[in-house]
Amino acid sequence: MSRTDVTDLAPLVRPGSVAIIGASADPTRIGGRPIAYMLRAGFQGAILPVNPNRAEVQGLPCYPSVAALPQAPDVAVIAVPGAAALQAVDELGARGTRFAVMFTAGYAEVDEAGAAAQARLVAAARRHGIRLLGPNCLGLFNAAAGFYPIFSASLEGGLPLPGRIGIASQSGAYGTHLFAACRTRNIGTAMLVTTGNEADLSVADAIGWMTRDDDLDVIMAYAEGVKDGPAFAAALAEARRARKPVIVMKVGRSAIGSAAAQSHTASIAGNDAIFSAVLAEHGAIRARSTEELIDIAYAATRRIYPVPNTLGVITISGGAGVLISDAAEAAGLAMPEMPQEAQGRLKAVLPFASPRNPVDCTAQAFNDLSLIGRFTESMIADGGYSSILAFFTQIGGAPSMAPAIRAQLNAVKARHPDRLYALSVLASAERNREYEADGYLLYEDPARAVVALEAMGRLGASFAAPEPIVPPARAAVALPETTPSEAEAKRLLAAAGIATVPEAACTDEAAAVAAAESFGFPVVMKILSPDILHKTEIGGVLLDVADAEAVRRGHATLLERAARHAPSARIEGVLVARQVKGAVECILGIQQDPVFGPVAMVGLGGVFVEVMRDVVFRRCPFDEDVAEAMIRSIKAAPLLLGARGRPPCDVAGLARMLSRLSVLAAAAGPRLRSIDLNPVFALPEGAFAADAVIEVGEAG
């Protein structure tokens, strides 16, 4: 199976038969809960308990071994300890079982011996063609099939509500926490797959399958780490093509490792920033909390993804309008003003109204509920807002007012069914169910509604965007055996079409003077050594070298500083370069991520890049359009586009350099550890790398 194939999990989630290895008569034990839940839910397939010590389990015939089963089960739940679990896999393989759900723990999550035992388990499963979920997993459920091979106590509080959300989670406890939290909020979750140690099947497999399951519209995911980056990215790409939102909770924010500090790119990146970039690349939404994860998934169940996304707010409270405006600005959700003509008409209806946006119809709505309908209609018909948020607080739940408010809103909604509507109301559970049945999203806190509505716009933009064009692959790049000097690094970059500042590598003082005179003064002088990567830290860069005598002094100074600060470094000479004035300094970089492969970075450059961290990332390779979008997305992009009367830089040229760098990185293979181009001078015409560091690993 290639990494971009989607594993067919239909036999796992909709089996005709399931065996429980280690079945228990006690419905509260791990081996008893799946049976109890499936009996309670009315699973229509065959439930086949296996336990050599019992003839009957929870009213079902029990079999002494897998060999004694009357049929080969499609799926088996393995709830017996280590050695018995391995034996069960062999016996199930002999019967032709295709999937095993491994409750059994004590494997790679424990120690090296456990990892070895897990490897033996996987090897046995592969010999027989069995796909493993787990080990050390809590199981799964498919509510539509009444299939519950799971031992979570969360189901004691009730089965899942009808719905079209699927949950894929590495953590069983957190996955069932999500399901239970959704149930508490009256949100239906049709499927949960927990993957545990991911010895075989992973969250990526679950996401990939859910994109093809016609019973699901929205996917929630929880991940602690990703082992197979290309498979995970392929699953997200599949979901995007299917127009199925993926909302992800990713925990663990660690750096790639101390060795990565050799590179600006690596020290800025860290695997968490790269993970976020992969999500953004495929339009998946990263949630910052459980509450946000559920809020966004809940909004996505309406399947309205507005493009462009603008927020219109109607409120009975000026204070709430300010709160919502603040939240929208923080989230990046546009709230344009109502057209002046429309504002005038609303003022004519209610002179003390505030009709700009938020549109405040004030407490006068208590006396004239028709204001709600008239103001909301104007916001859509005149303002053109694609997302509507109404703050009605308690009046939205008041028995004397709620029916009329519903009628007013429903009349507007019937005329504009393509808009996304959210209400912030405090009402009874029964009243809330009425609003939700009408198609409104409900949030007690309007700021939470803003975050969810903004995410719907990001999803819409991603779904509407064309598939990115992947540049043609380059021939394999021949990397040097060891980390090259700056001059050698620039020769490799030049072969990839990446322009550098005119310069010359000089082995003596006379050559340095000749080079400087050919470029014209002033010039830049730098120590040239493959062992001194960050030259400024030892005073190994001299700027504004103004004449031949200054070149001679600079040559001696650089050699002396290198000898003093890096006595064991190999010195190849001095680099003399034309000094560029009036440019915006940028940084372009490549980091070899252990999960996702080569990742490119772009941002403003200079010595403080790690402090500012105004950078964006993207997996390699990508074309010039993607590169330009990356550049324009950094916070300091106005400096490149002509801020404060400066001439605009050649953003297209900078994007061309970034794209070529990404193609080079993809062709270089895993020996390429990192590339730093810092600074890159962005000029009105062209972009030129002034410094280049390429780190390579050992061959083999």
**Any domain includes 4:** no
Q: Which CATH number covers residue 528?
A: 3.30.1490.20
Q: How confident is the model at residue 35 (pLDDT cuts 50, 70, 90)?
A: very high
Residues near 287 by beta carbon (within 8 Å), at least 6 away in sequence: 247, 248, 249, 293, 296
**Any domain includes 496:** no
Do residues 198 and 294 share a domain? yes
Q: Which CATH number covers residue 67?
A: 3.40.50.720
| 621 upstream amide cis, omega within 30 of 0 | yes
Q: How confident is the model at residue 700 (pLDDT cuts 50, 70, 90)?
A: low
Do residues 332 and 238 share a domain? no
pLDDT at site 644: 76
What global pTM score does this model have? 0.91
Q: Mean of the pLDDT values across residues 341-368?
A: 86
Q: Mean of the pLDDT values across residues 595-610?
A: 84
Q: Which CATH number covers residue 631?
A: 3.30.470.20
Q: Is the pLDDT of residue 130 over 70?
A: yes
Q: Is the pLDDT of residue 266 over 50?
A: no
Do residues 187 and 130 share a domain? yes
Do residues 331 and 388 share a domain? yes
**Which of the listed residues 230, 263, 298 is the one where a domain comes to its end?**
298
Do residues 349 and 457 share a domain? yes
Do residues 548 and 592 share a domain? no
- Kindly give the residue spans of alpha helices, DSSP state H, lying in 439-485: 446-464
d(CA 636, CA 61): 70
Alpha-carbon distance values, 420 to 223, 310, 370, 640 (Å): 29, 10, 21, 36
Q: Is the pLDDT of residue 170 over 50?
A: yes
Going by DSSP bridges, is the β-strand pair 99-102/75-78 parallel, antiparallel, or unpaired? parallel
How confident is the model over 207-227, as pLDDT tens digits?
Answer: 999 999 999 999 999 998 888
Q: Is the pLDDT of residue 452 over 50?
A: yes
The number of folded domains in the chain is 4
Cβ(270)–Cβ(313) below 8 Å: no
d(CA 497, CA 516): 25
pLDDT at site 613: 77
d(CA 40, CA 431): 30
How confident is the model over 401-430, as pLDDT tens digits?
Answer: 999 999 999 999 999 999 999 999 999 999
Residue identified by tokens 């106590």 is 153
**Which of the listed residues 578, 603, 628 is the one where a domain comes to its end?**
578
Q: Which CATH number covers residue 454?
A: 3.40.50.261
475 or 378, which is more confident?
378
Alpha-carbon distance values, 566 to 248, 294, 533, 551 (Å): 46, 55, 11, 22
Cβ(298)–Cβ(187) below 8 Å: yes
Do residues 566 and 588 share a domain? no
- Domain limits for position 630: 584-696
Do residues 337 and 237 share a domain? no
**Which of the listed residues 449, 464, 479 is the one where a domain comes to its end?**
464
pLDDT at site 551: 97
Going by DSSP bridges, is the β-strand pair 597-604/615-619 parallel, antiparallel, or unpaired? antiparallel
Q: Mean of the pLDDT values across residues 387-398?
A: 95
**Any domain includes 92:** yes
Do residues 306 and 294 share a domain? no
Residue identified by tokens 């609303």 is 346
Q: Give me the count of residues in the chain.
A: 700
**Any domain includes 148:** yes
Q: Is the pLDDT of residue 642 over 90?
A: no
**Any domain includes 63:** yes
Q: Is the pLDDT of residue 612 over 80?
A: no
Do residues 574 and 621 share a domain? no
**Any domain includes 598:** yes
**Any domain includes 356:** yes
**Any domain includes 252:** no
Q: Average model confidence (pLDDT) for the chain?
A: 92
pLDDT at site 610: 66
Do residues 393 and 419 share a domain? yes
Q: Is the pLDDT of residue 449 over 60?
A: yes
Q: Which run of H or of E encompasses 36? A: helix 33-41
Tell me the two tokens of residue 442: 């409900």
Do residues 460 and 521 share a domain? no
Q: How confident is the model at residue 264 (pLDDT cuts 50, 70, 90)?
A: very low
Residues near 278 by beta carbon (within 8 Å), at least 6 away in sequence: 229, 232, 233, 236, 596, 619
Percent of the chain exceeding pLDDT 90 equals 84
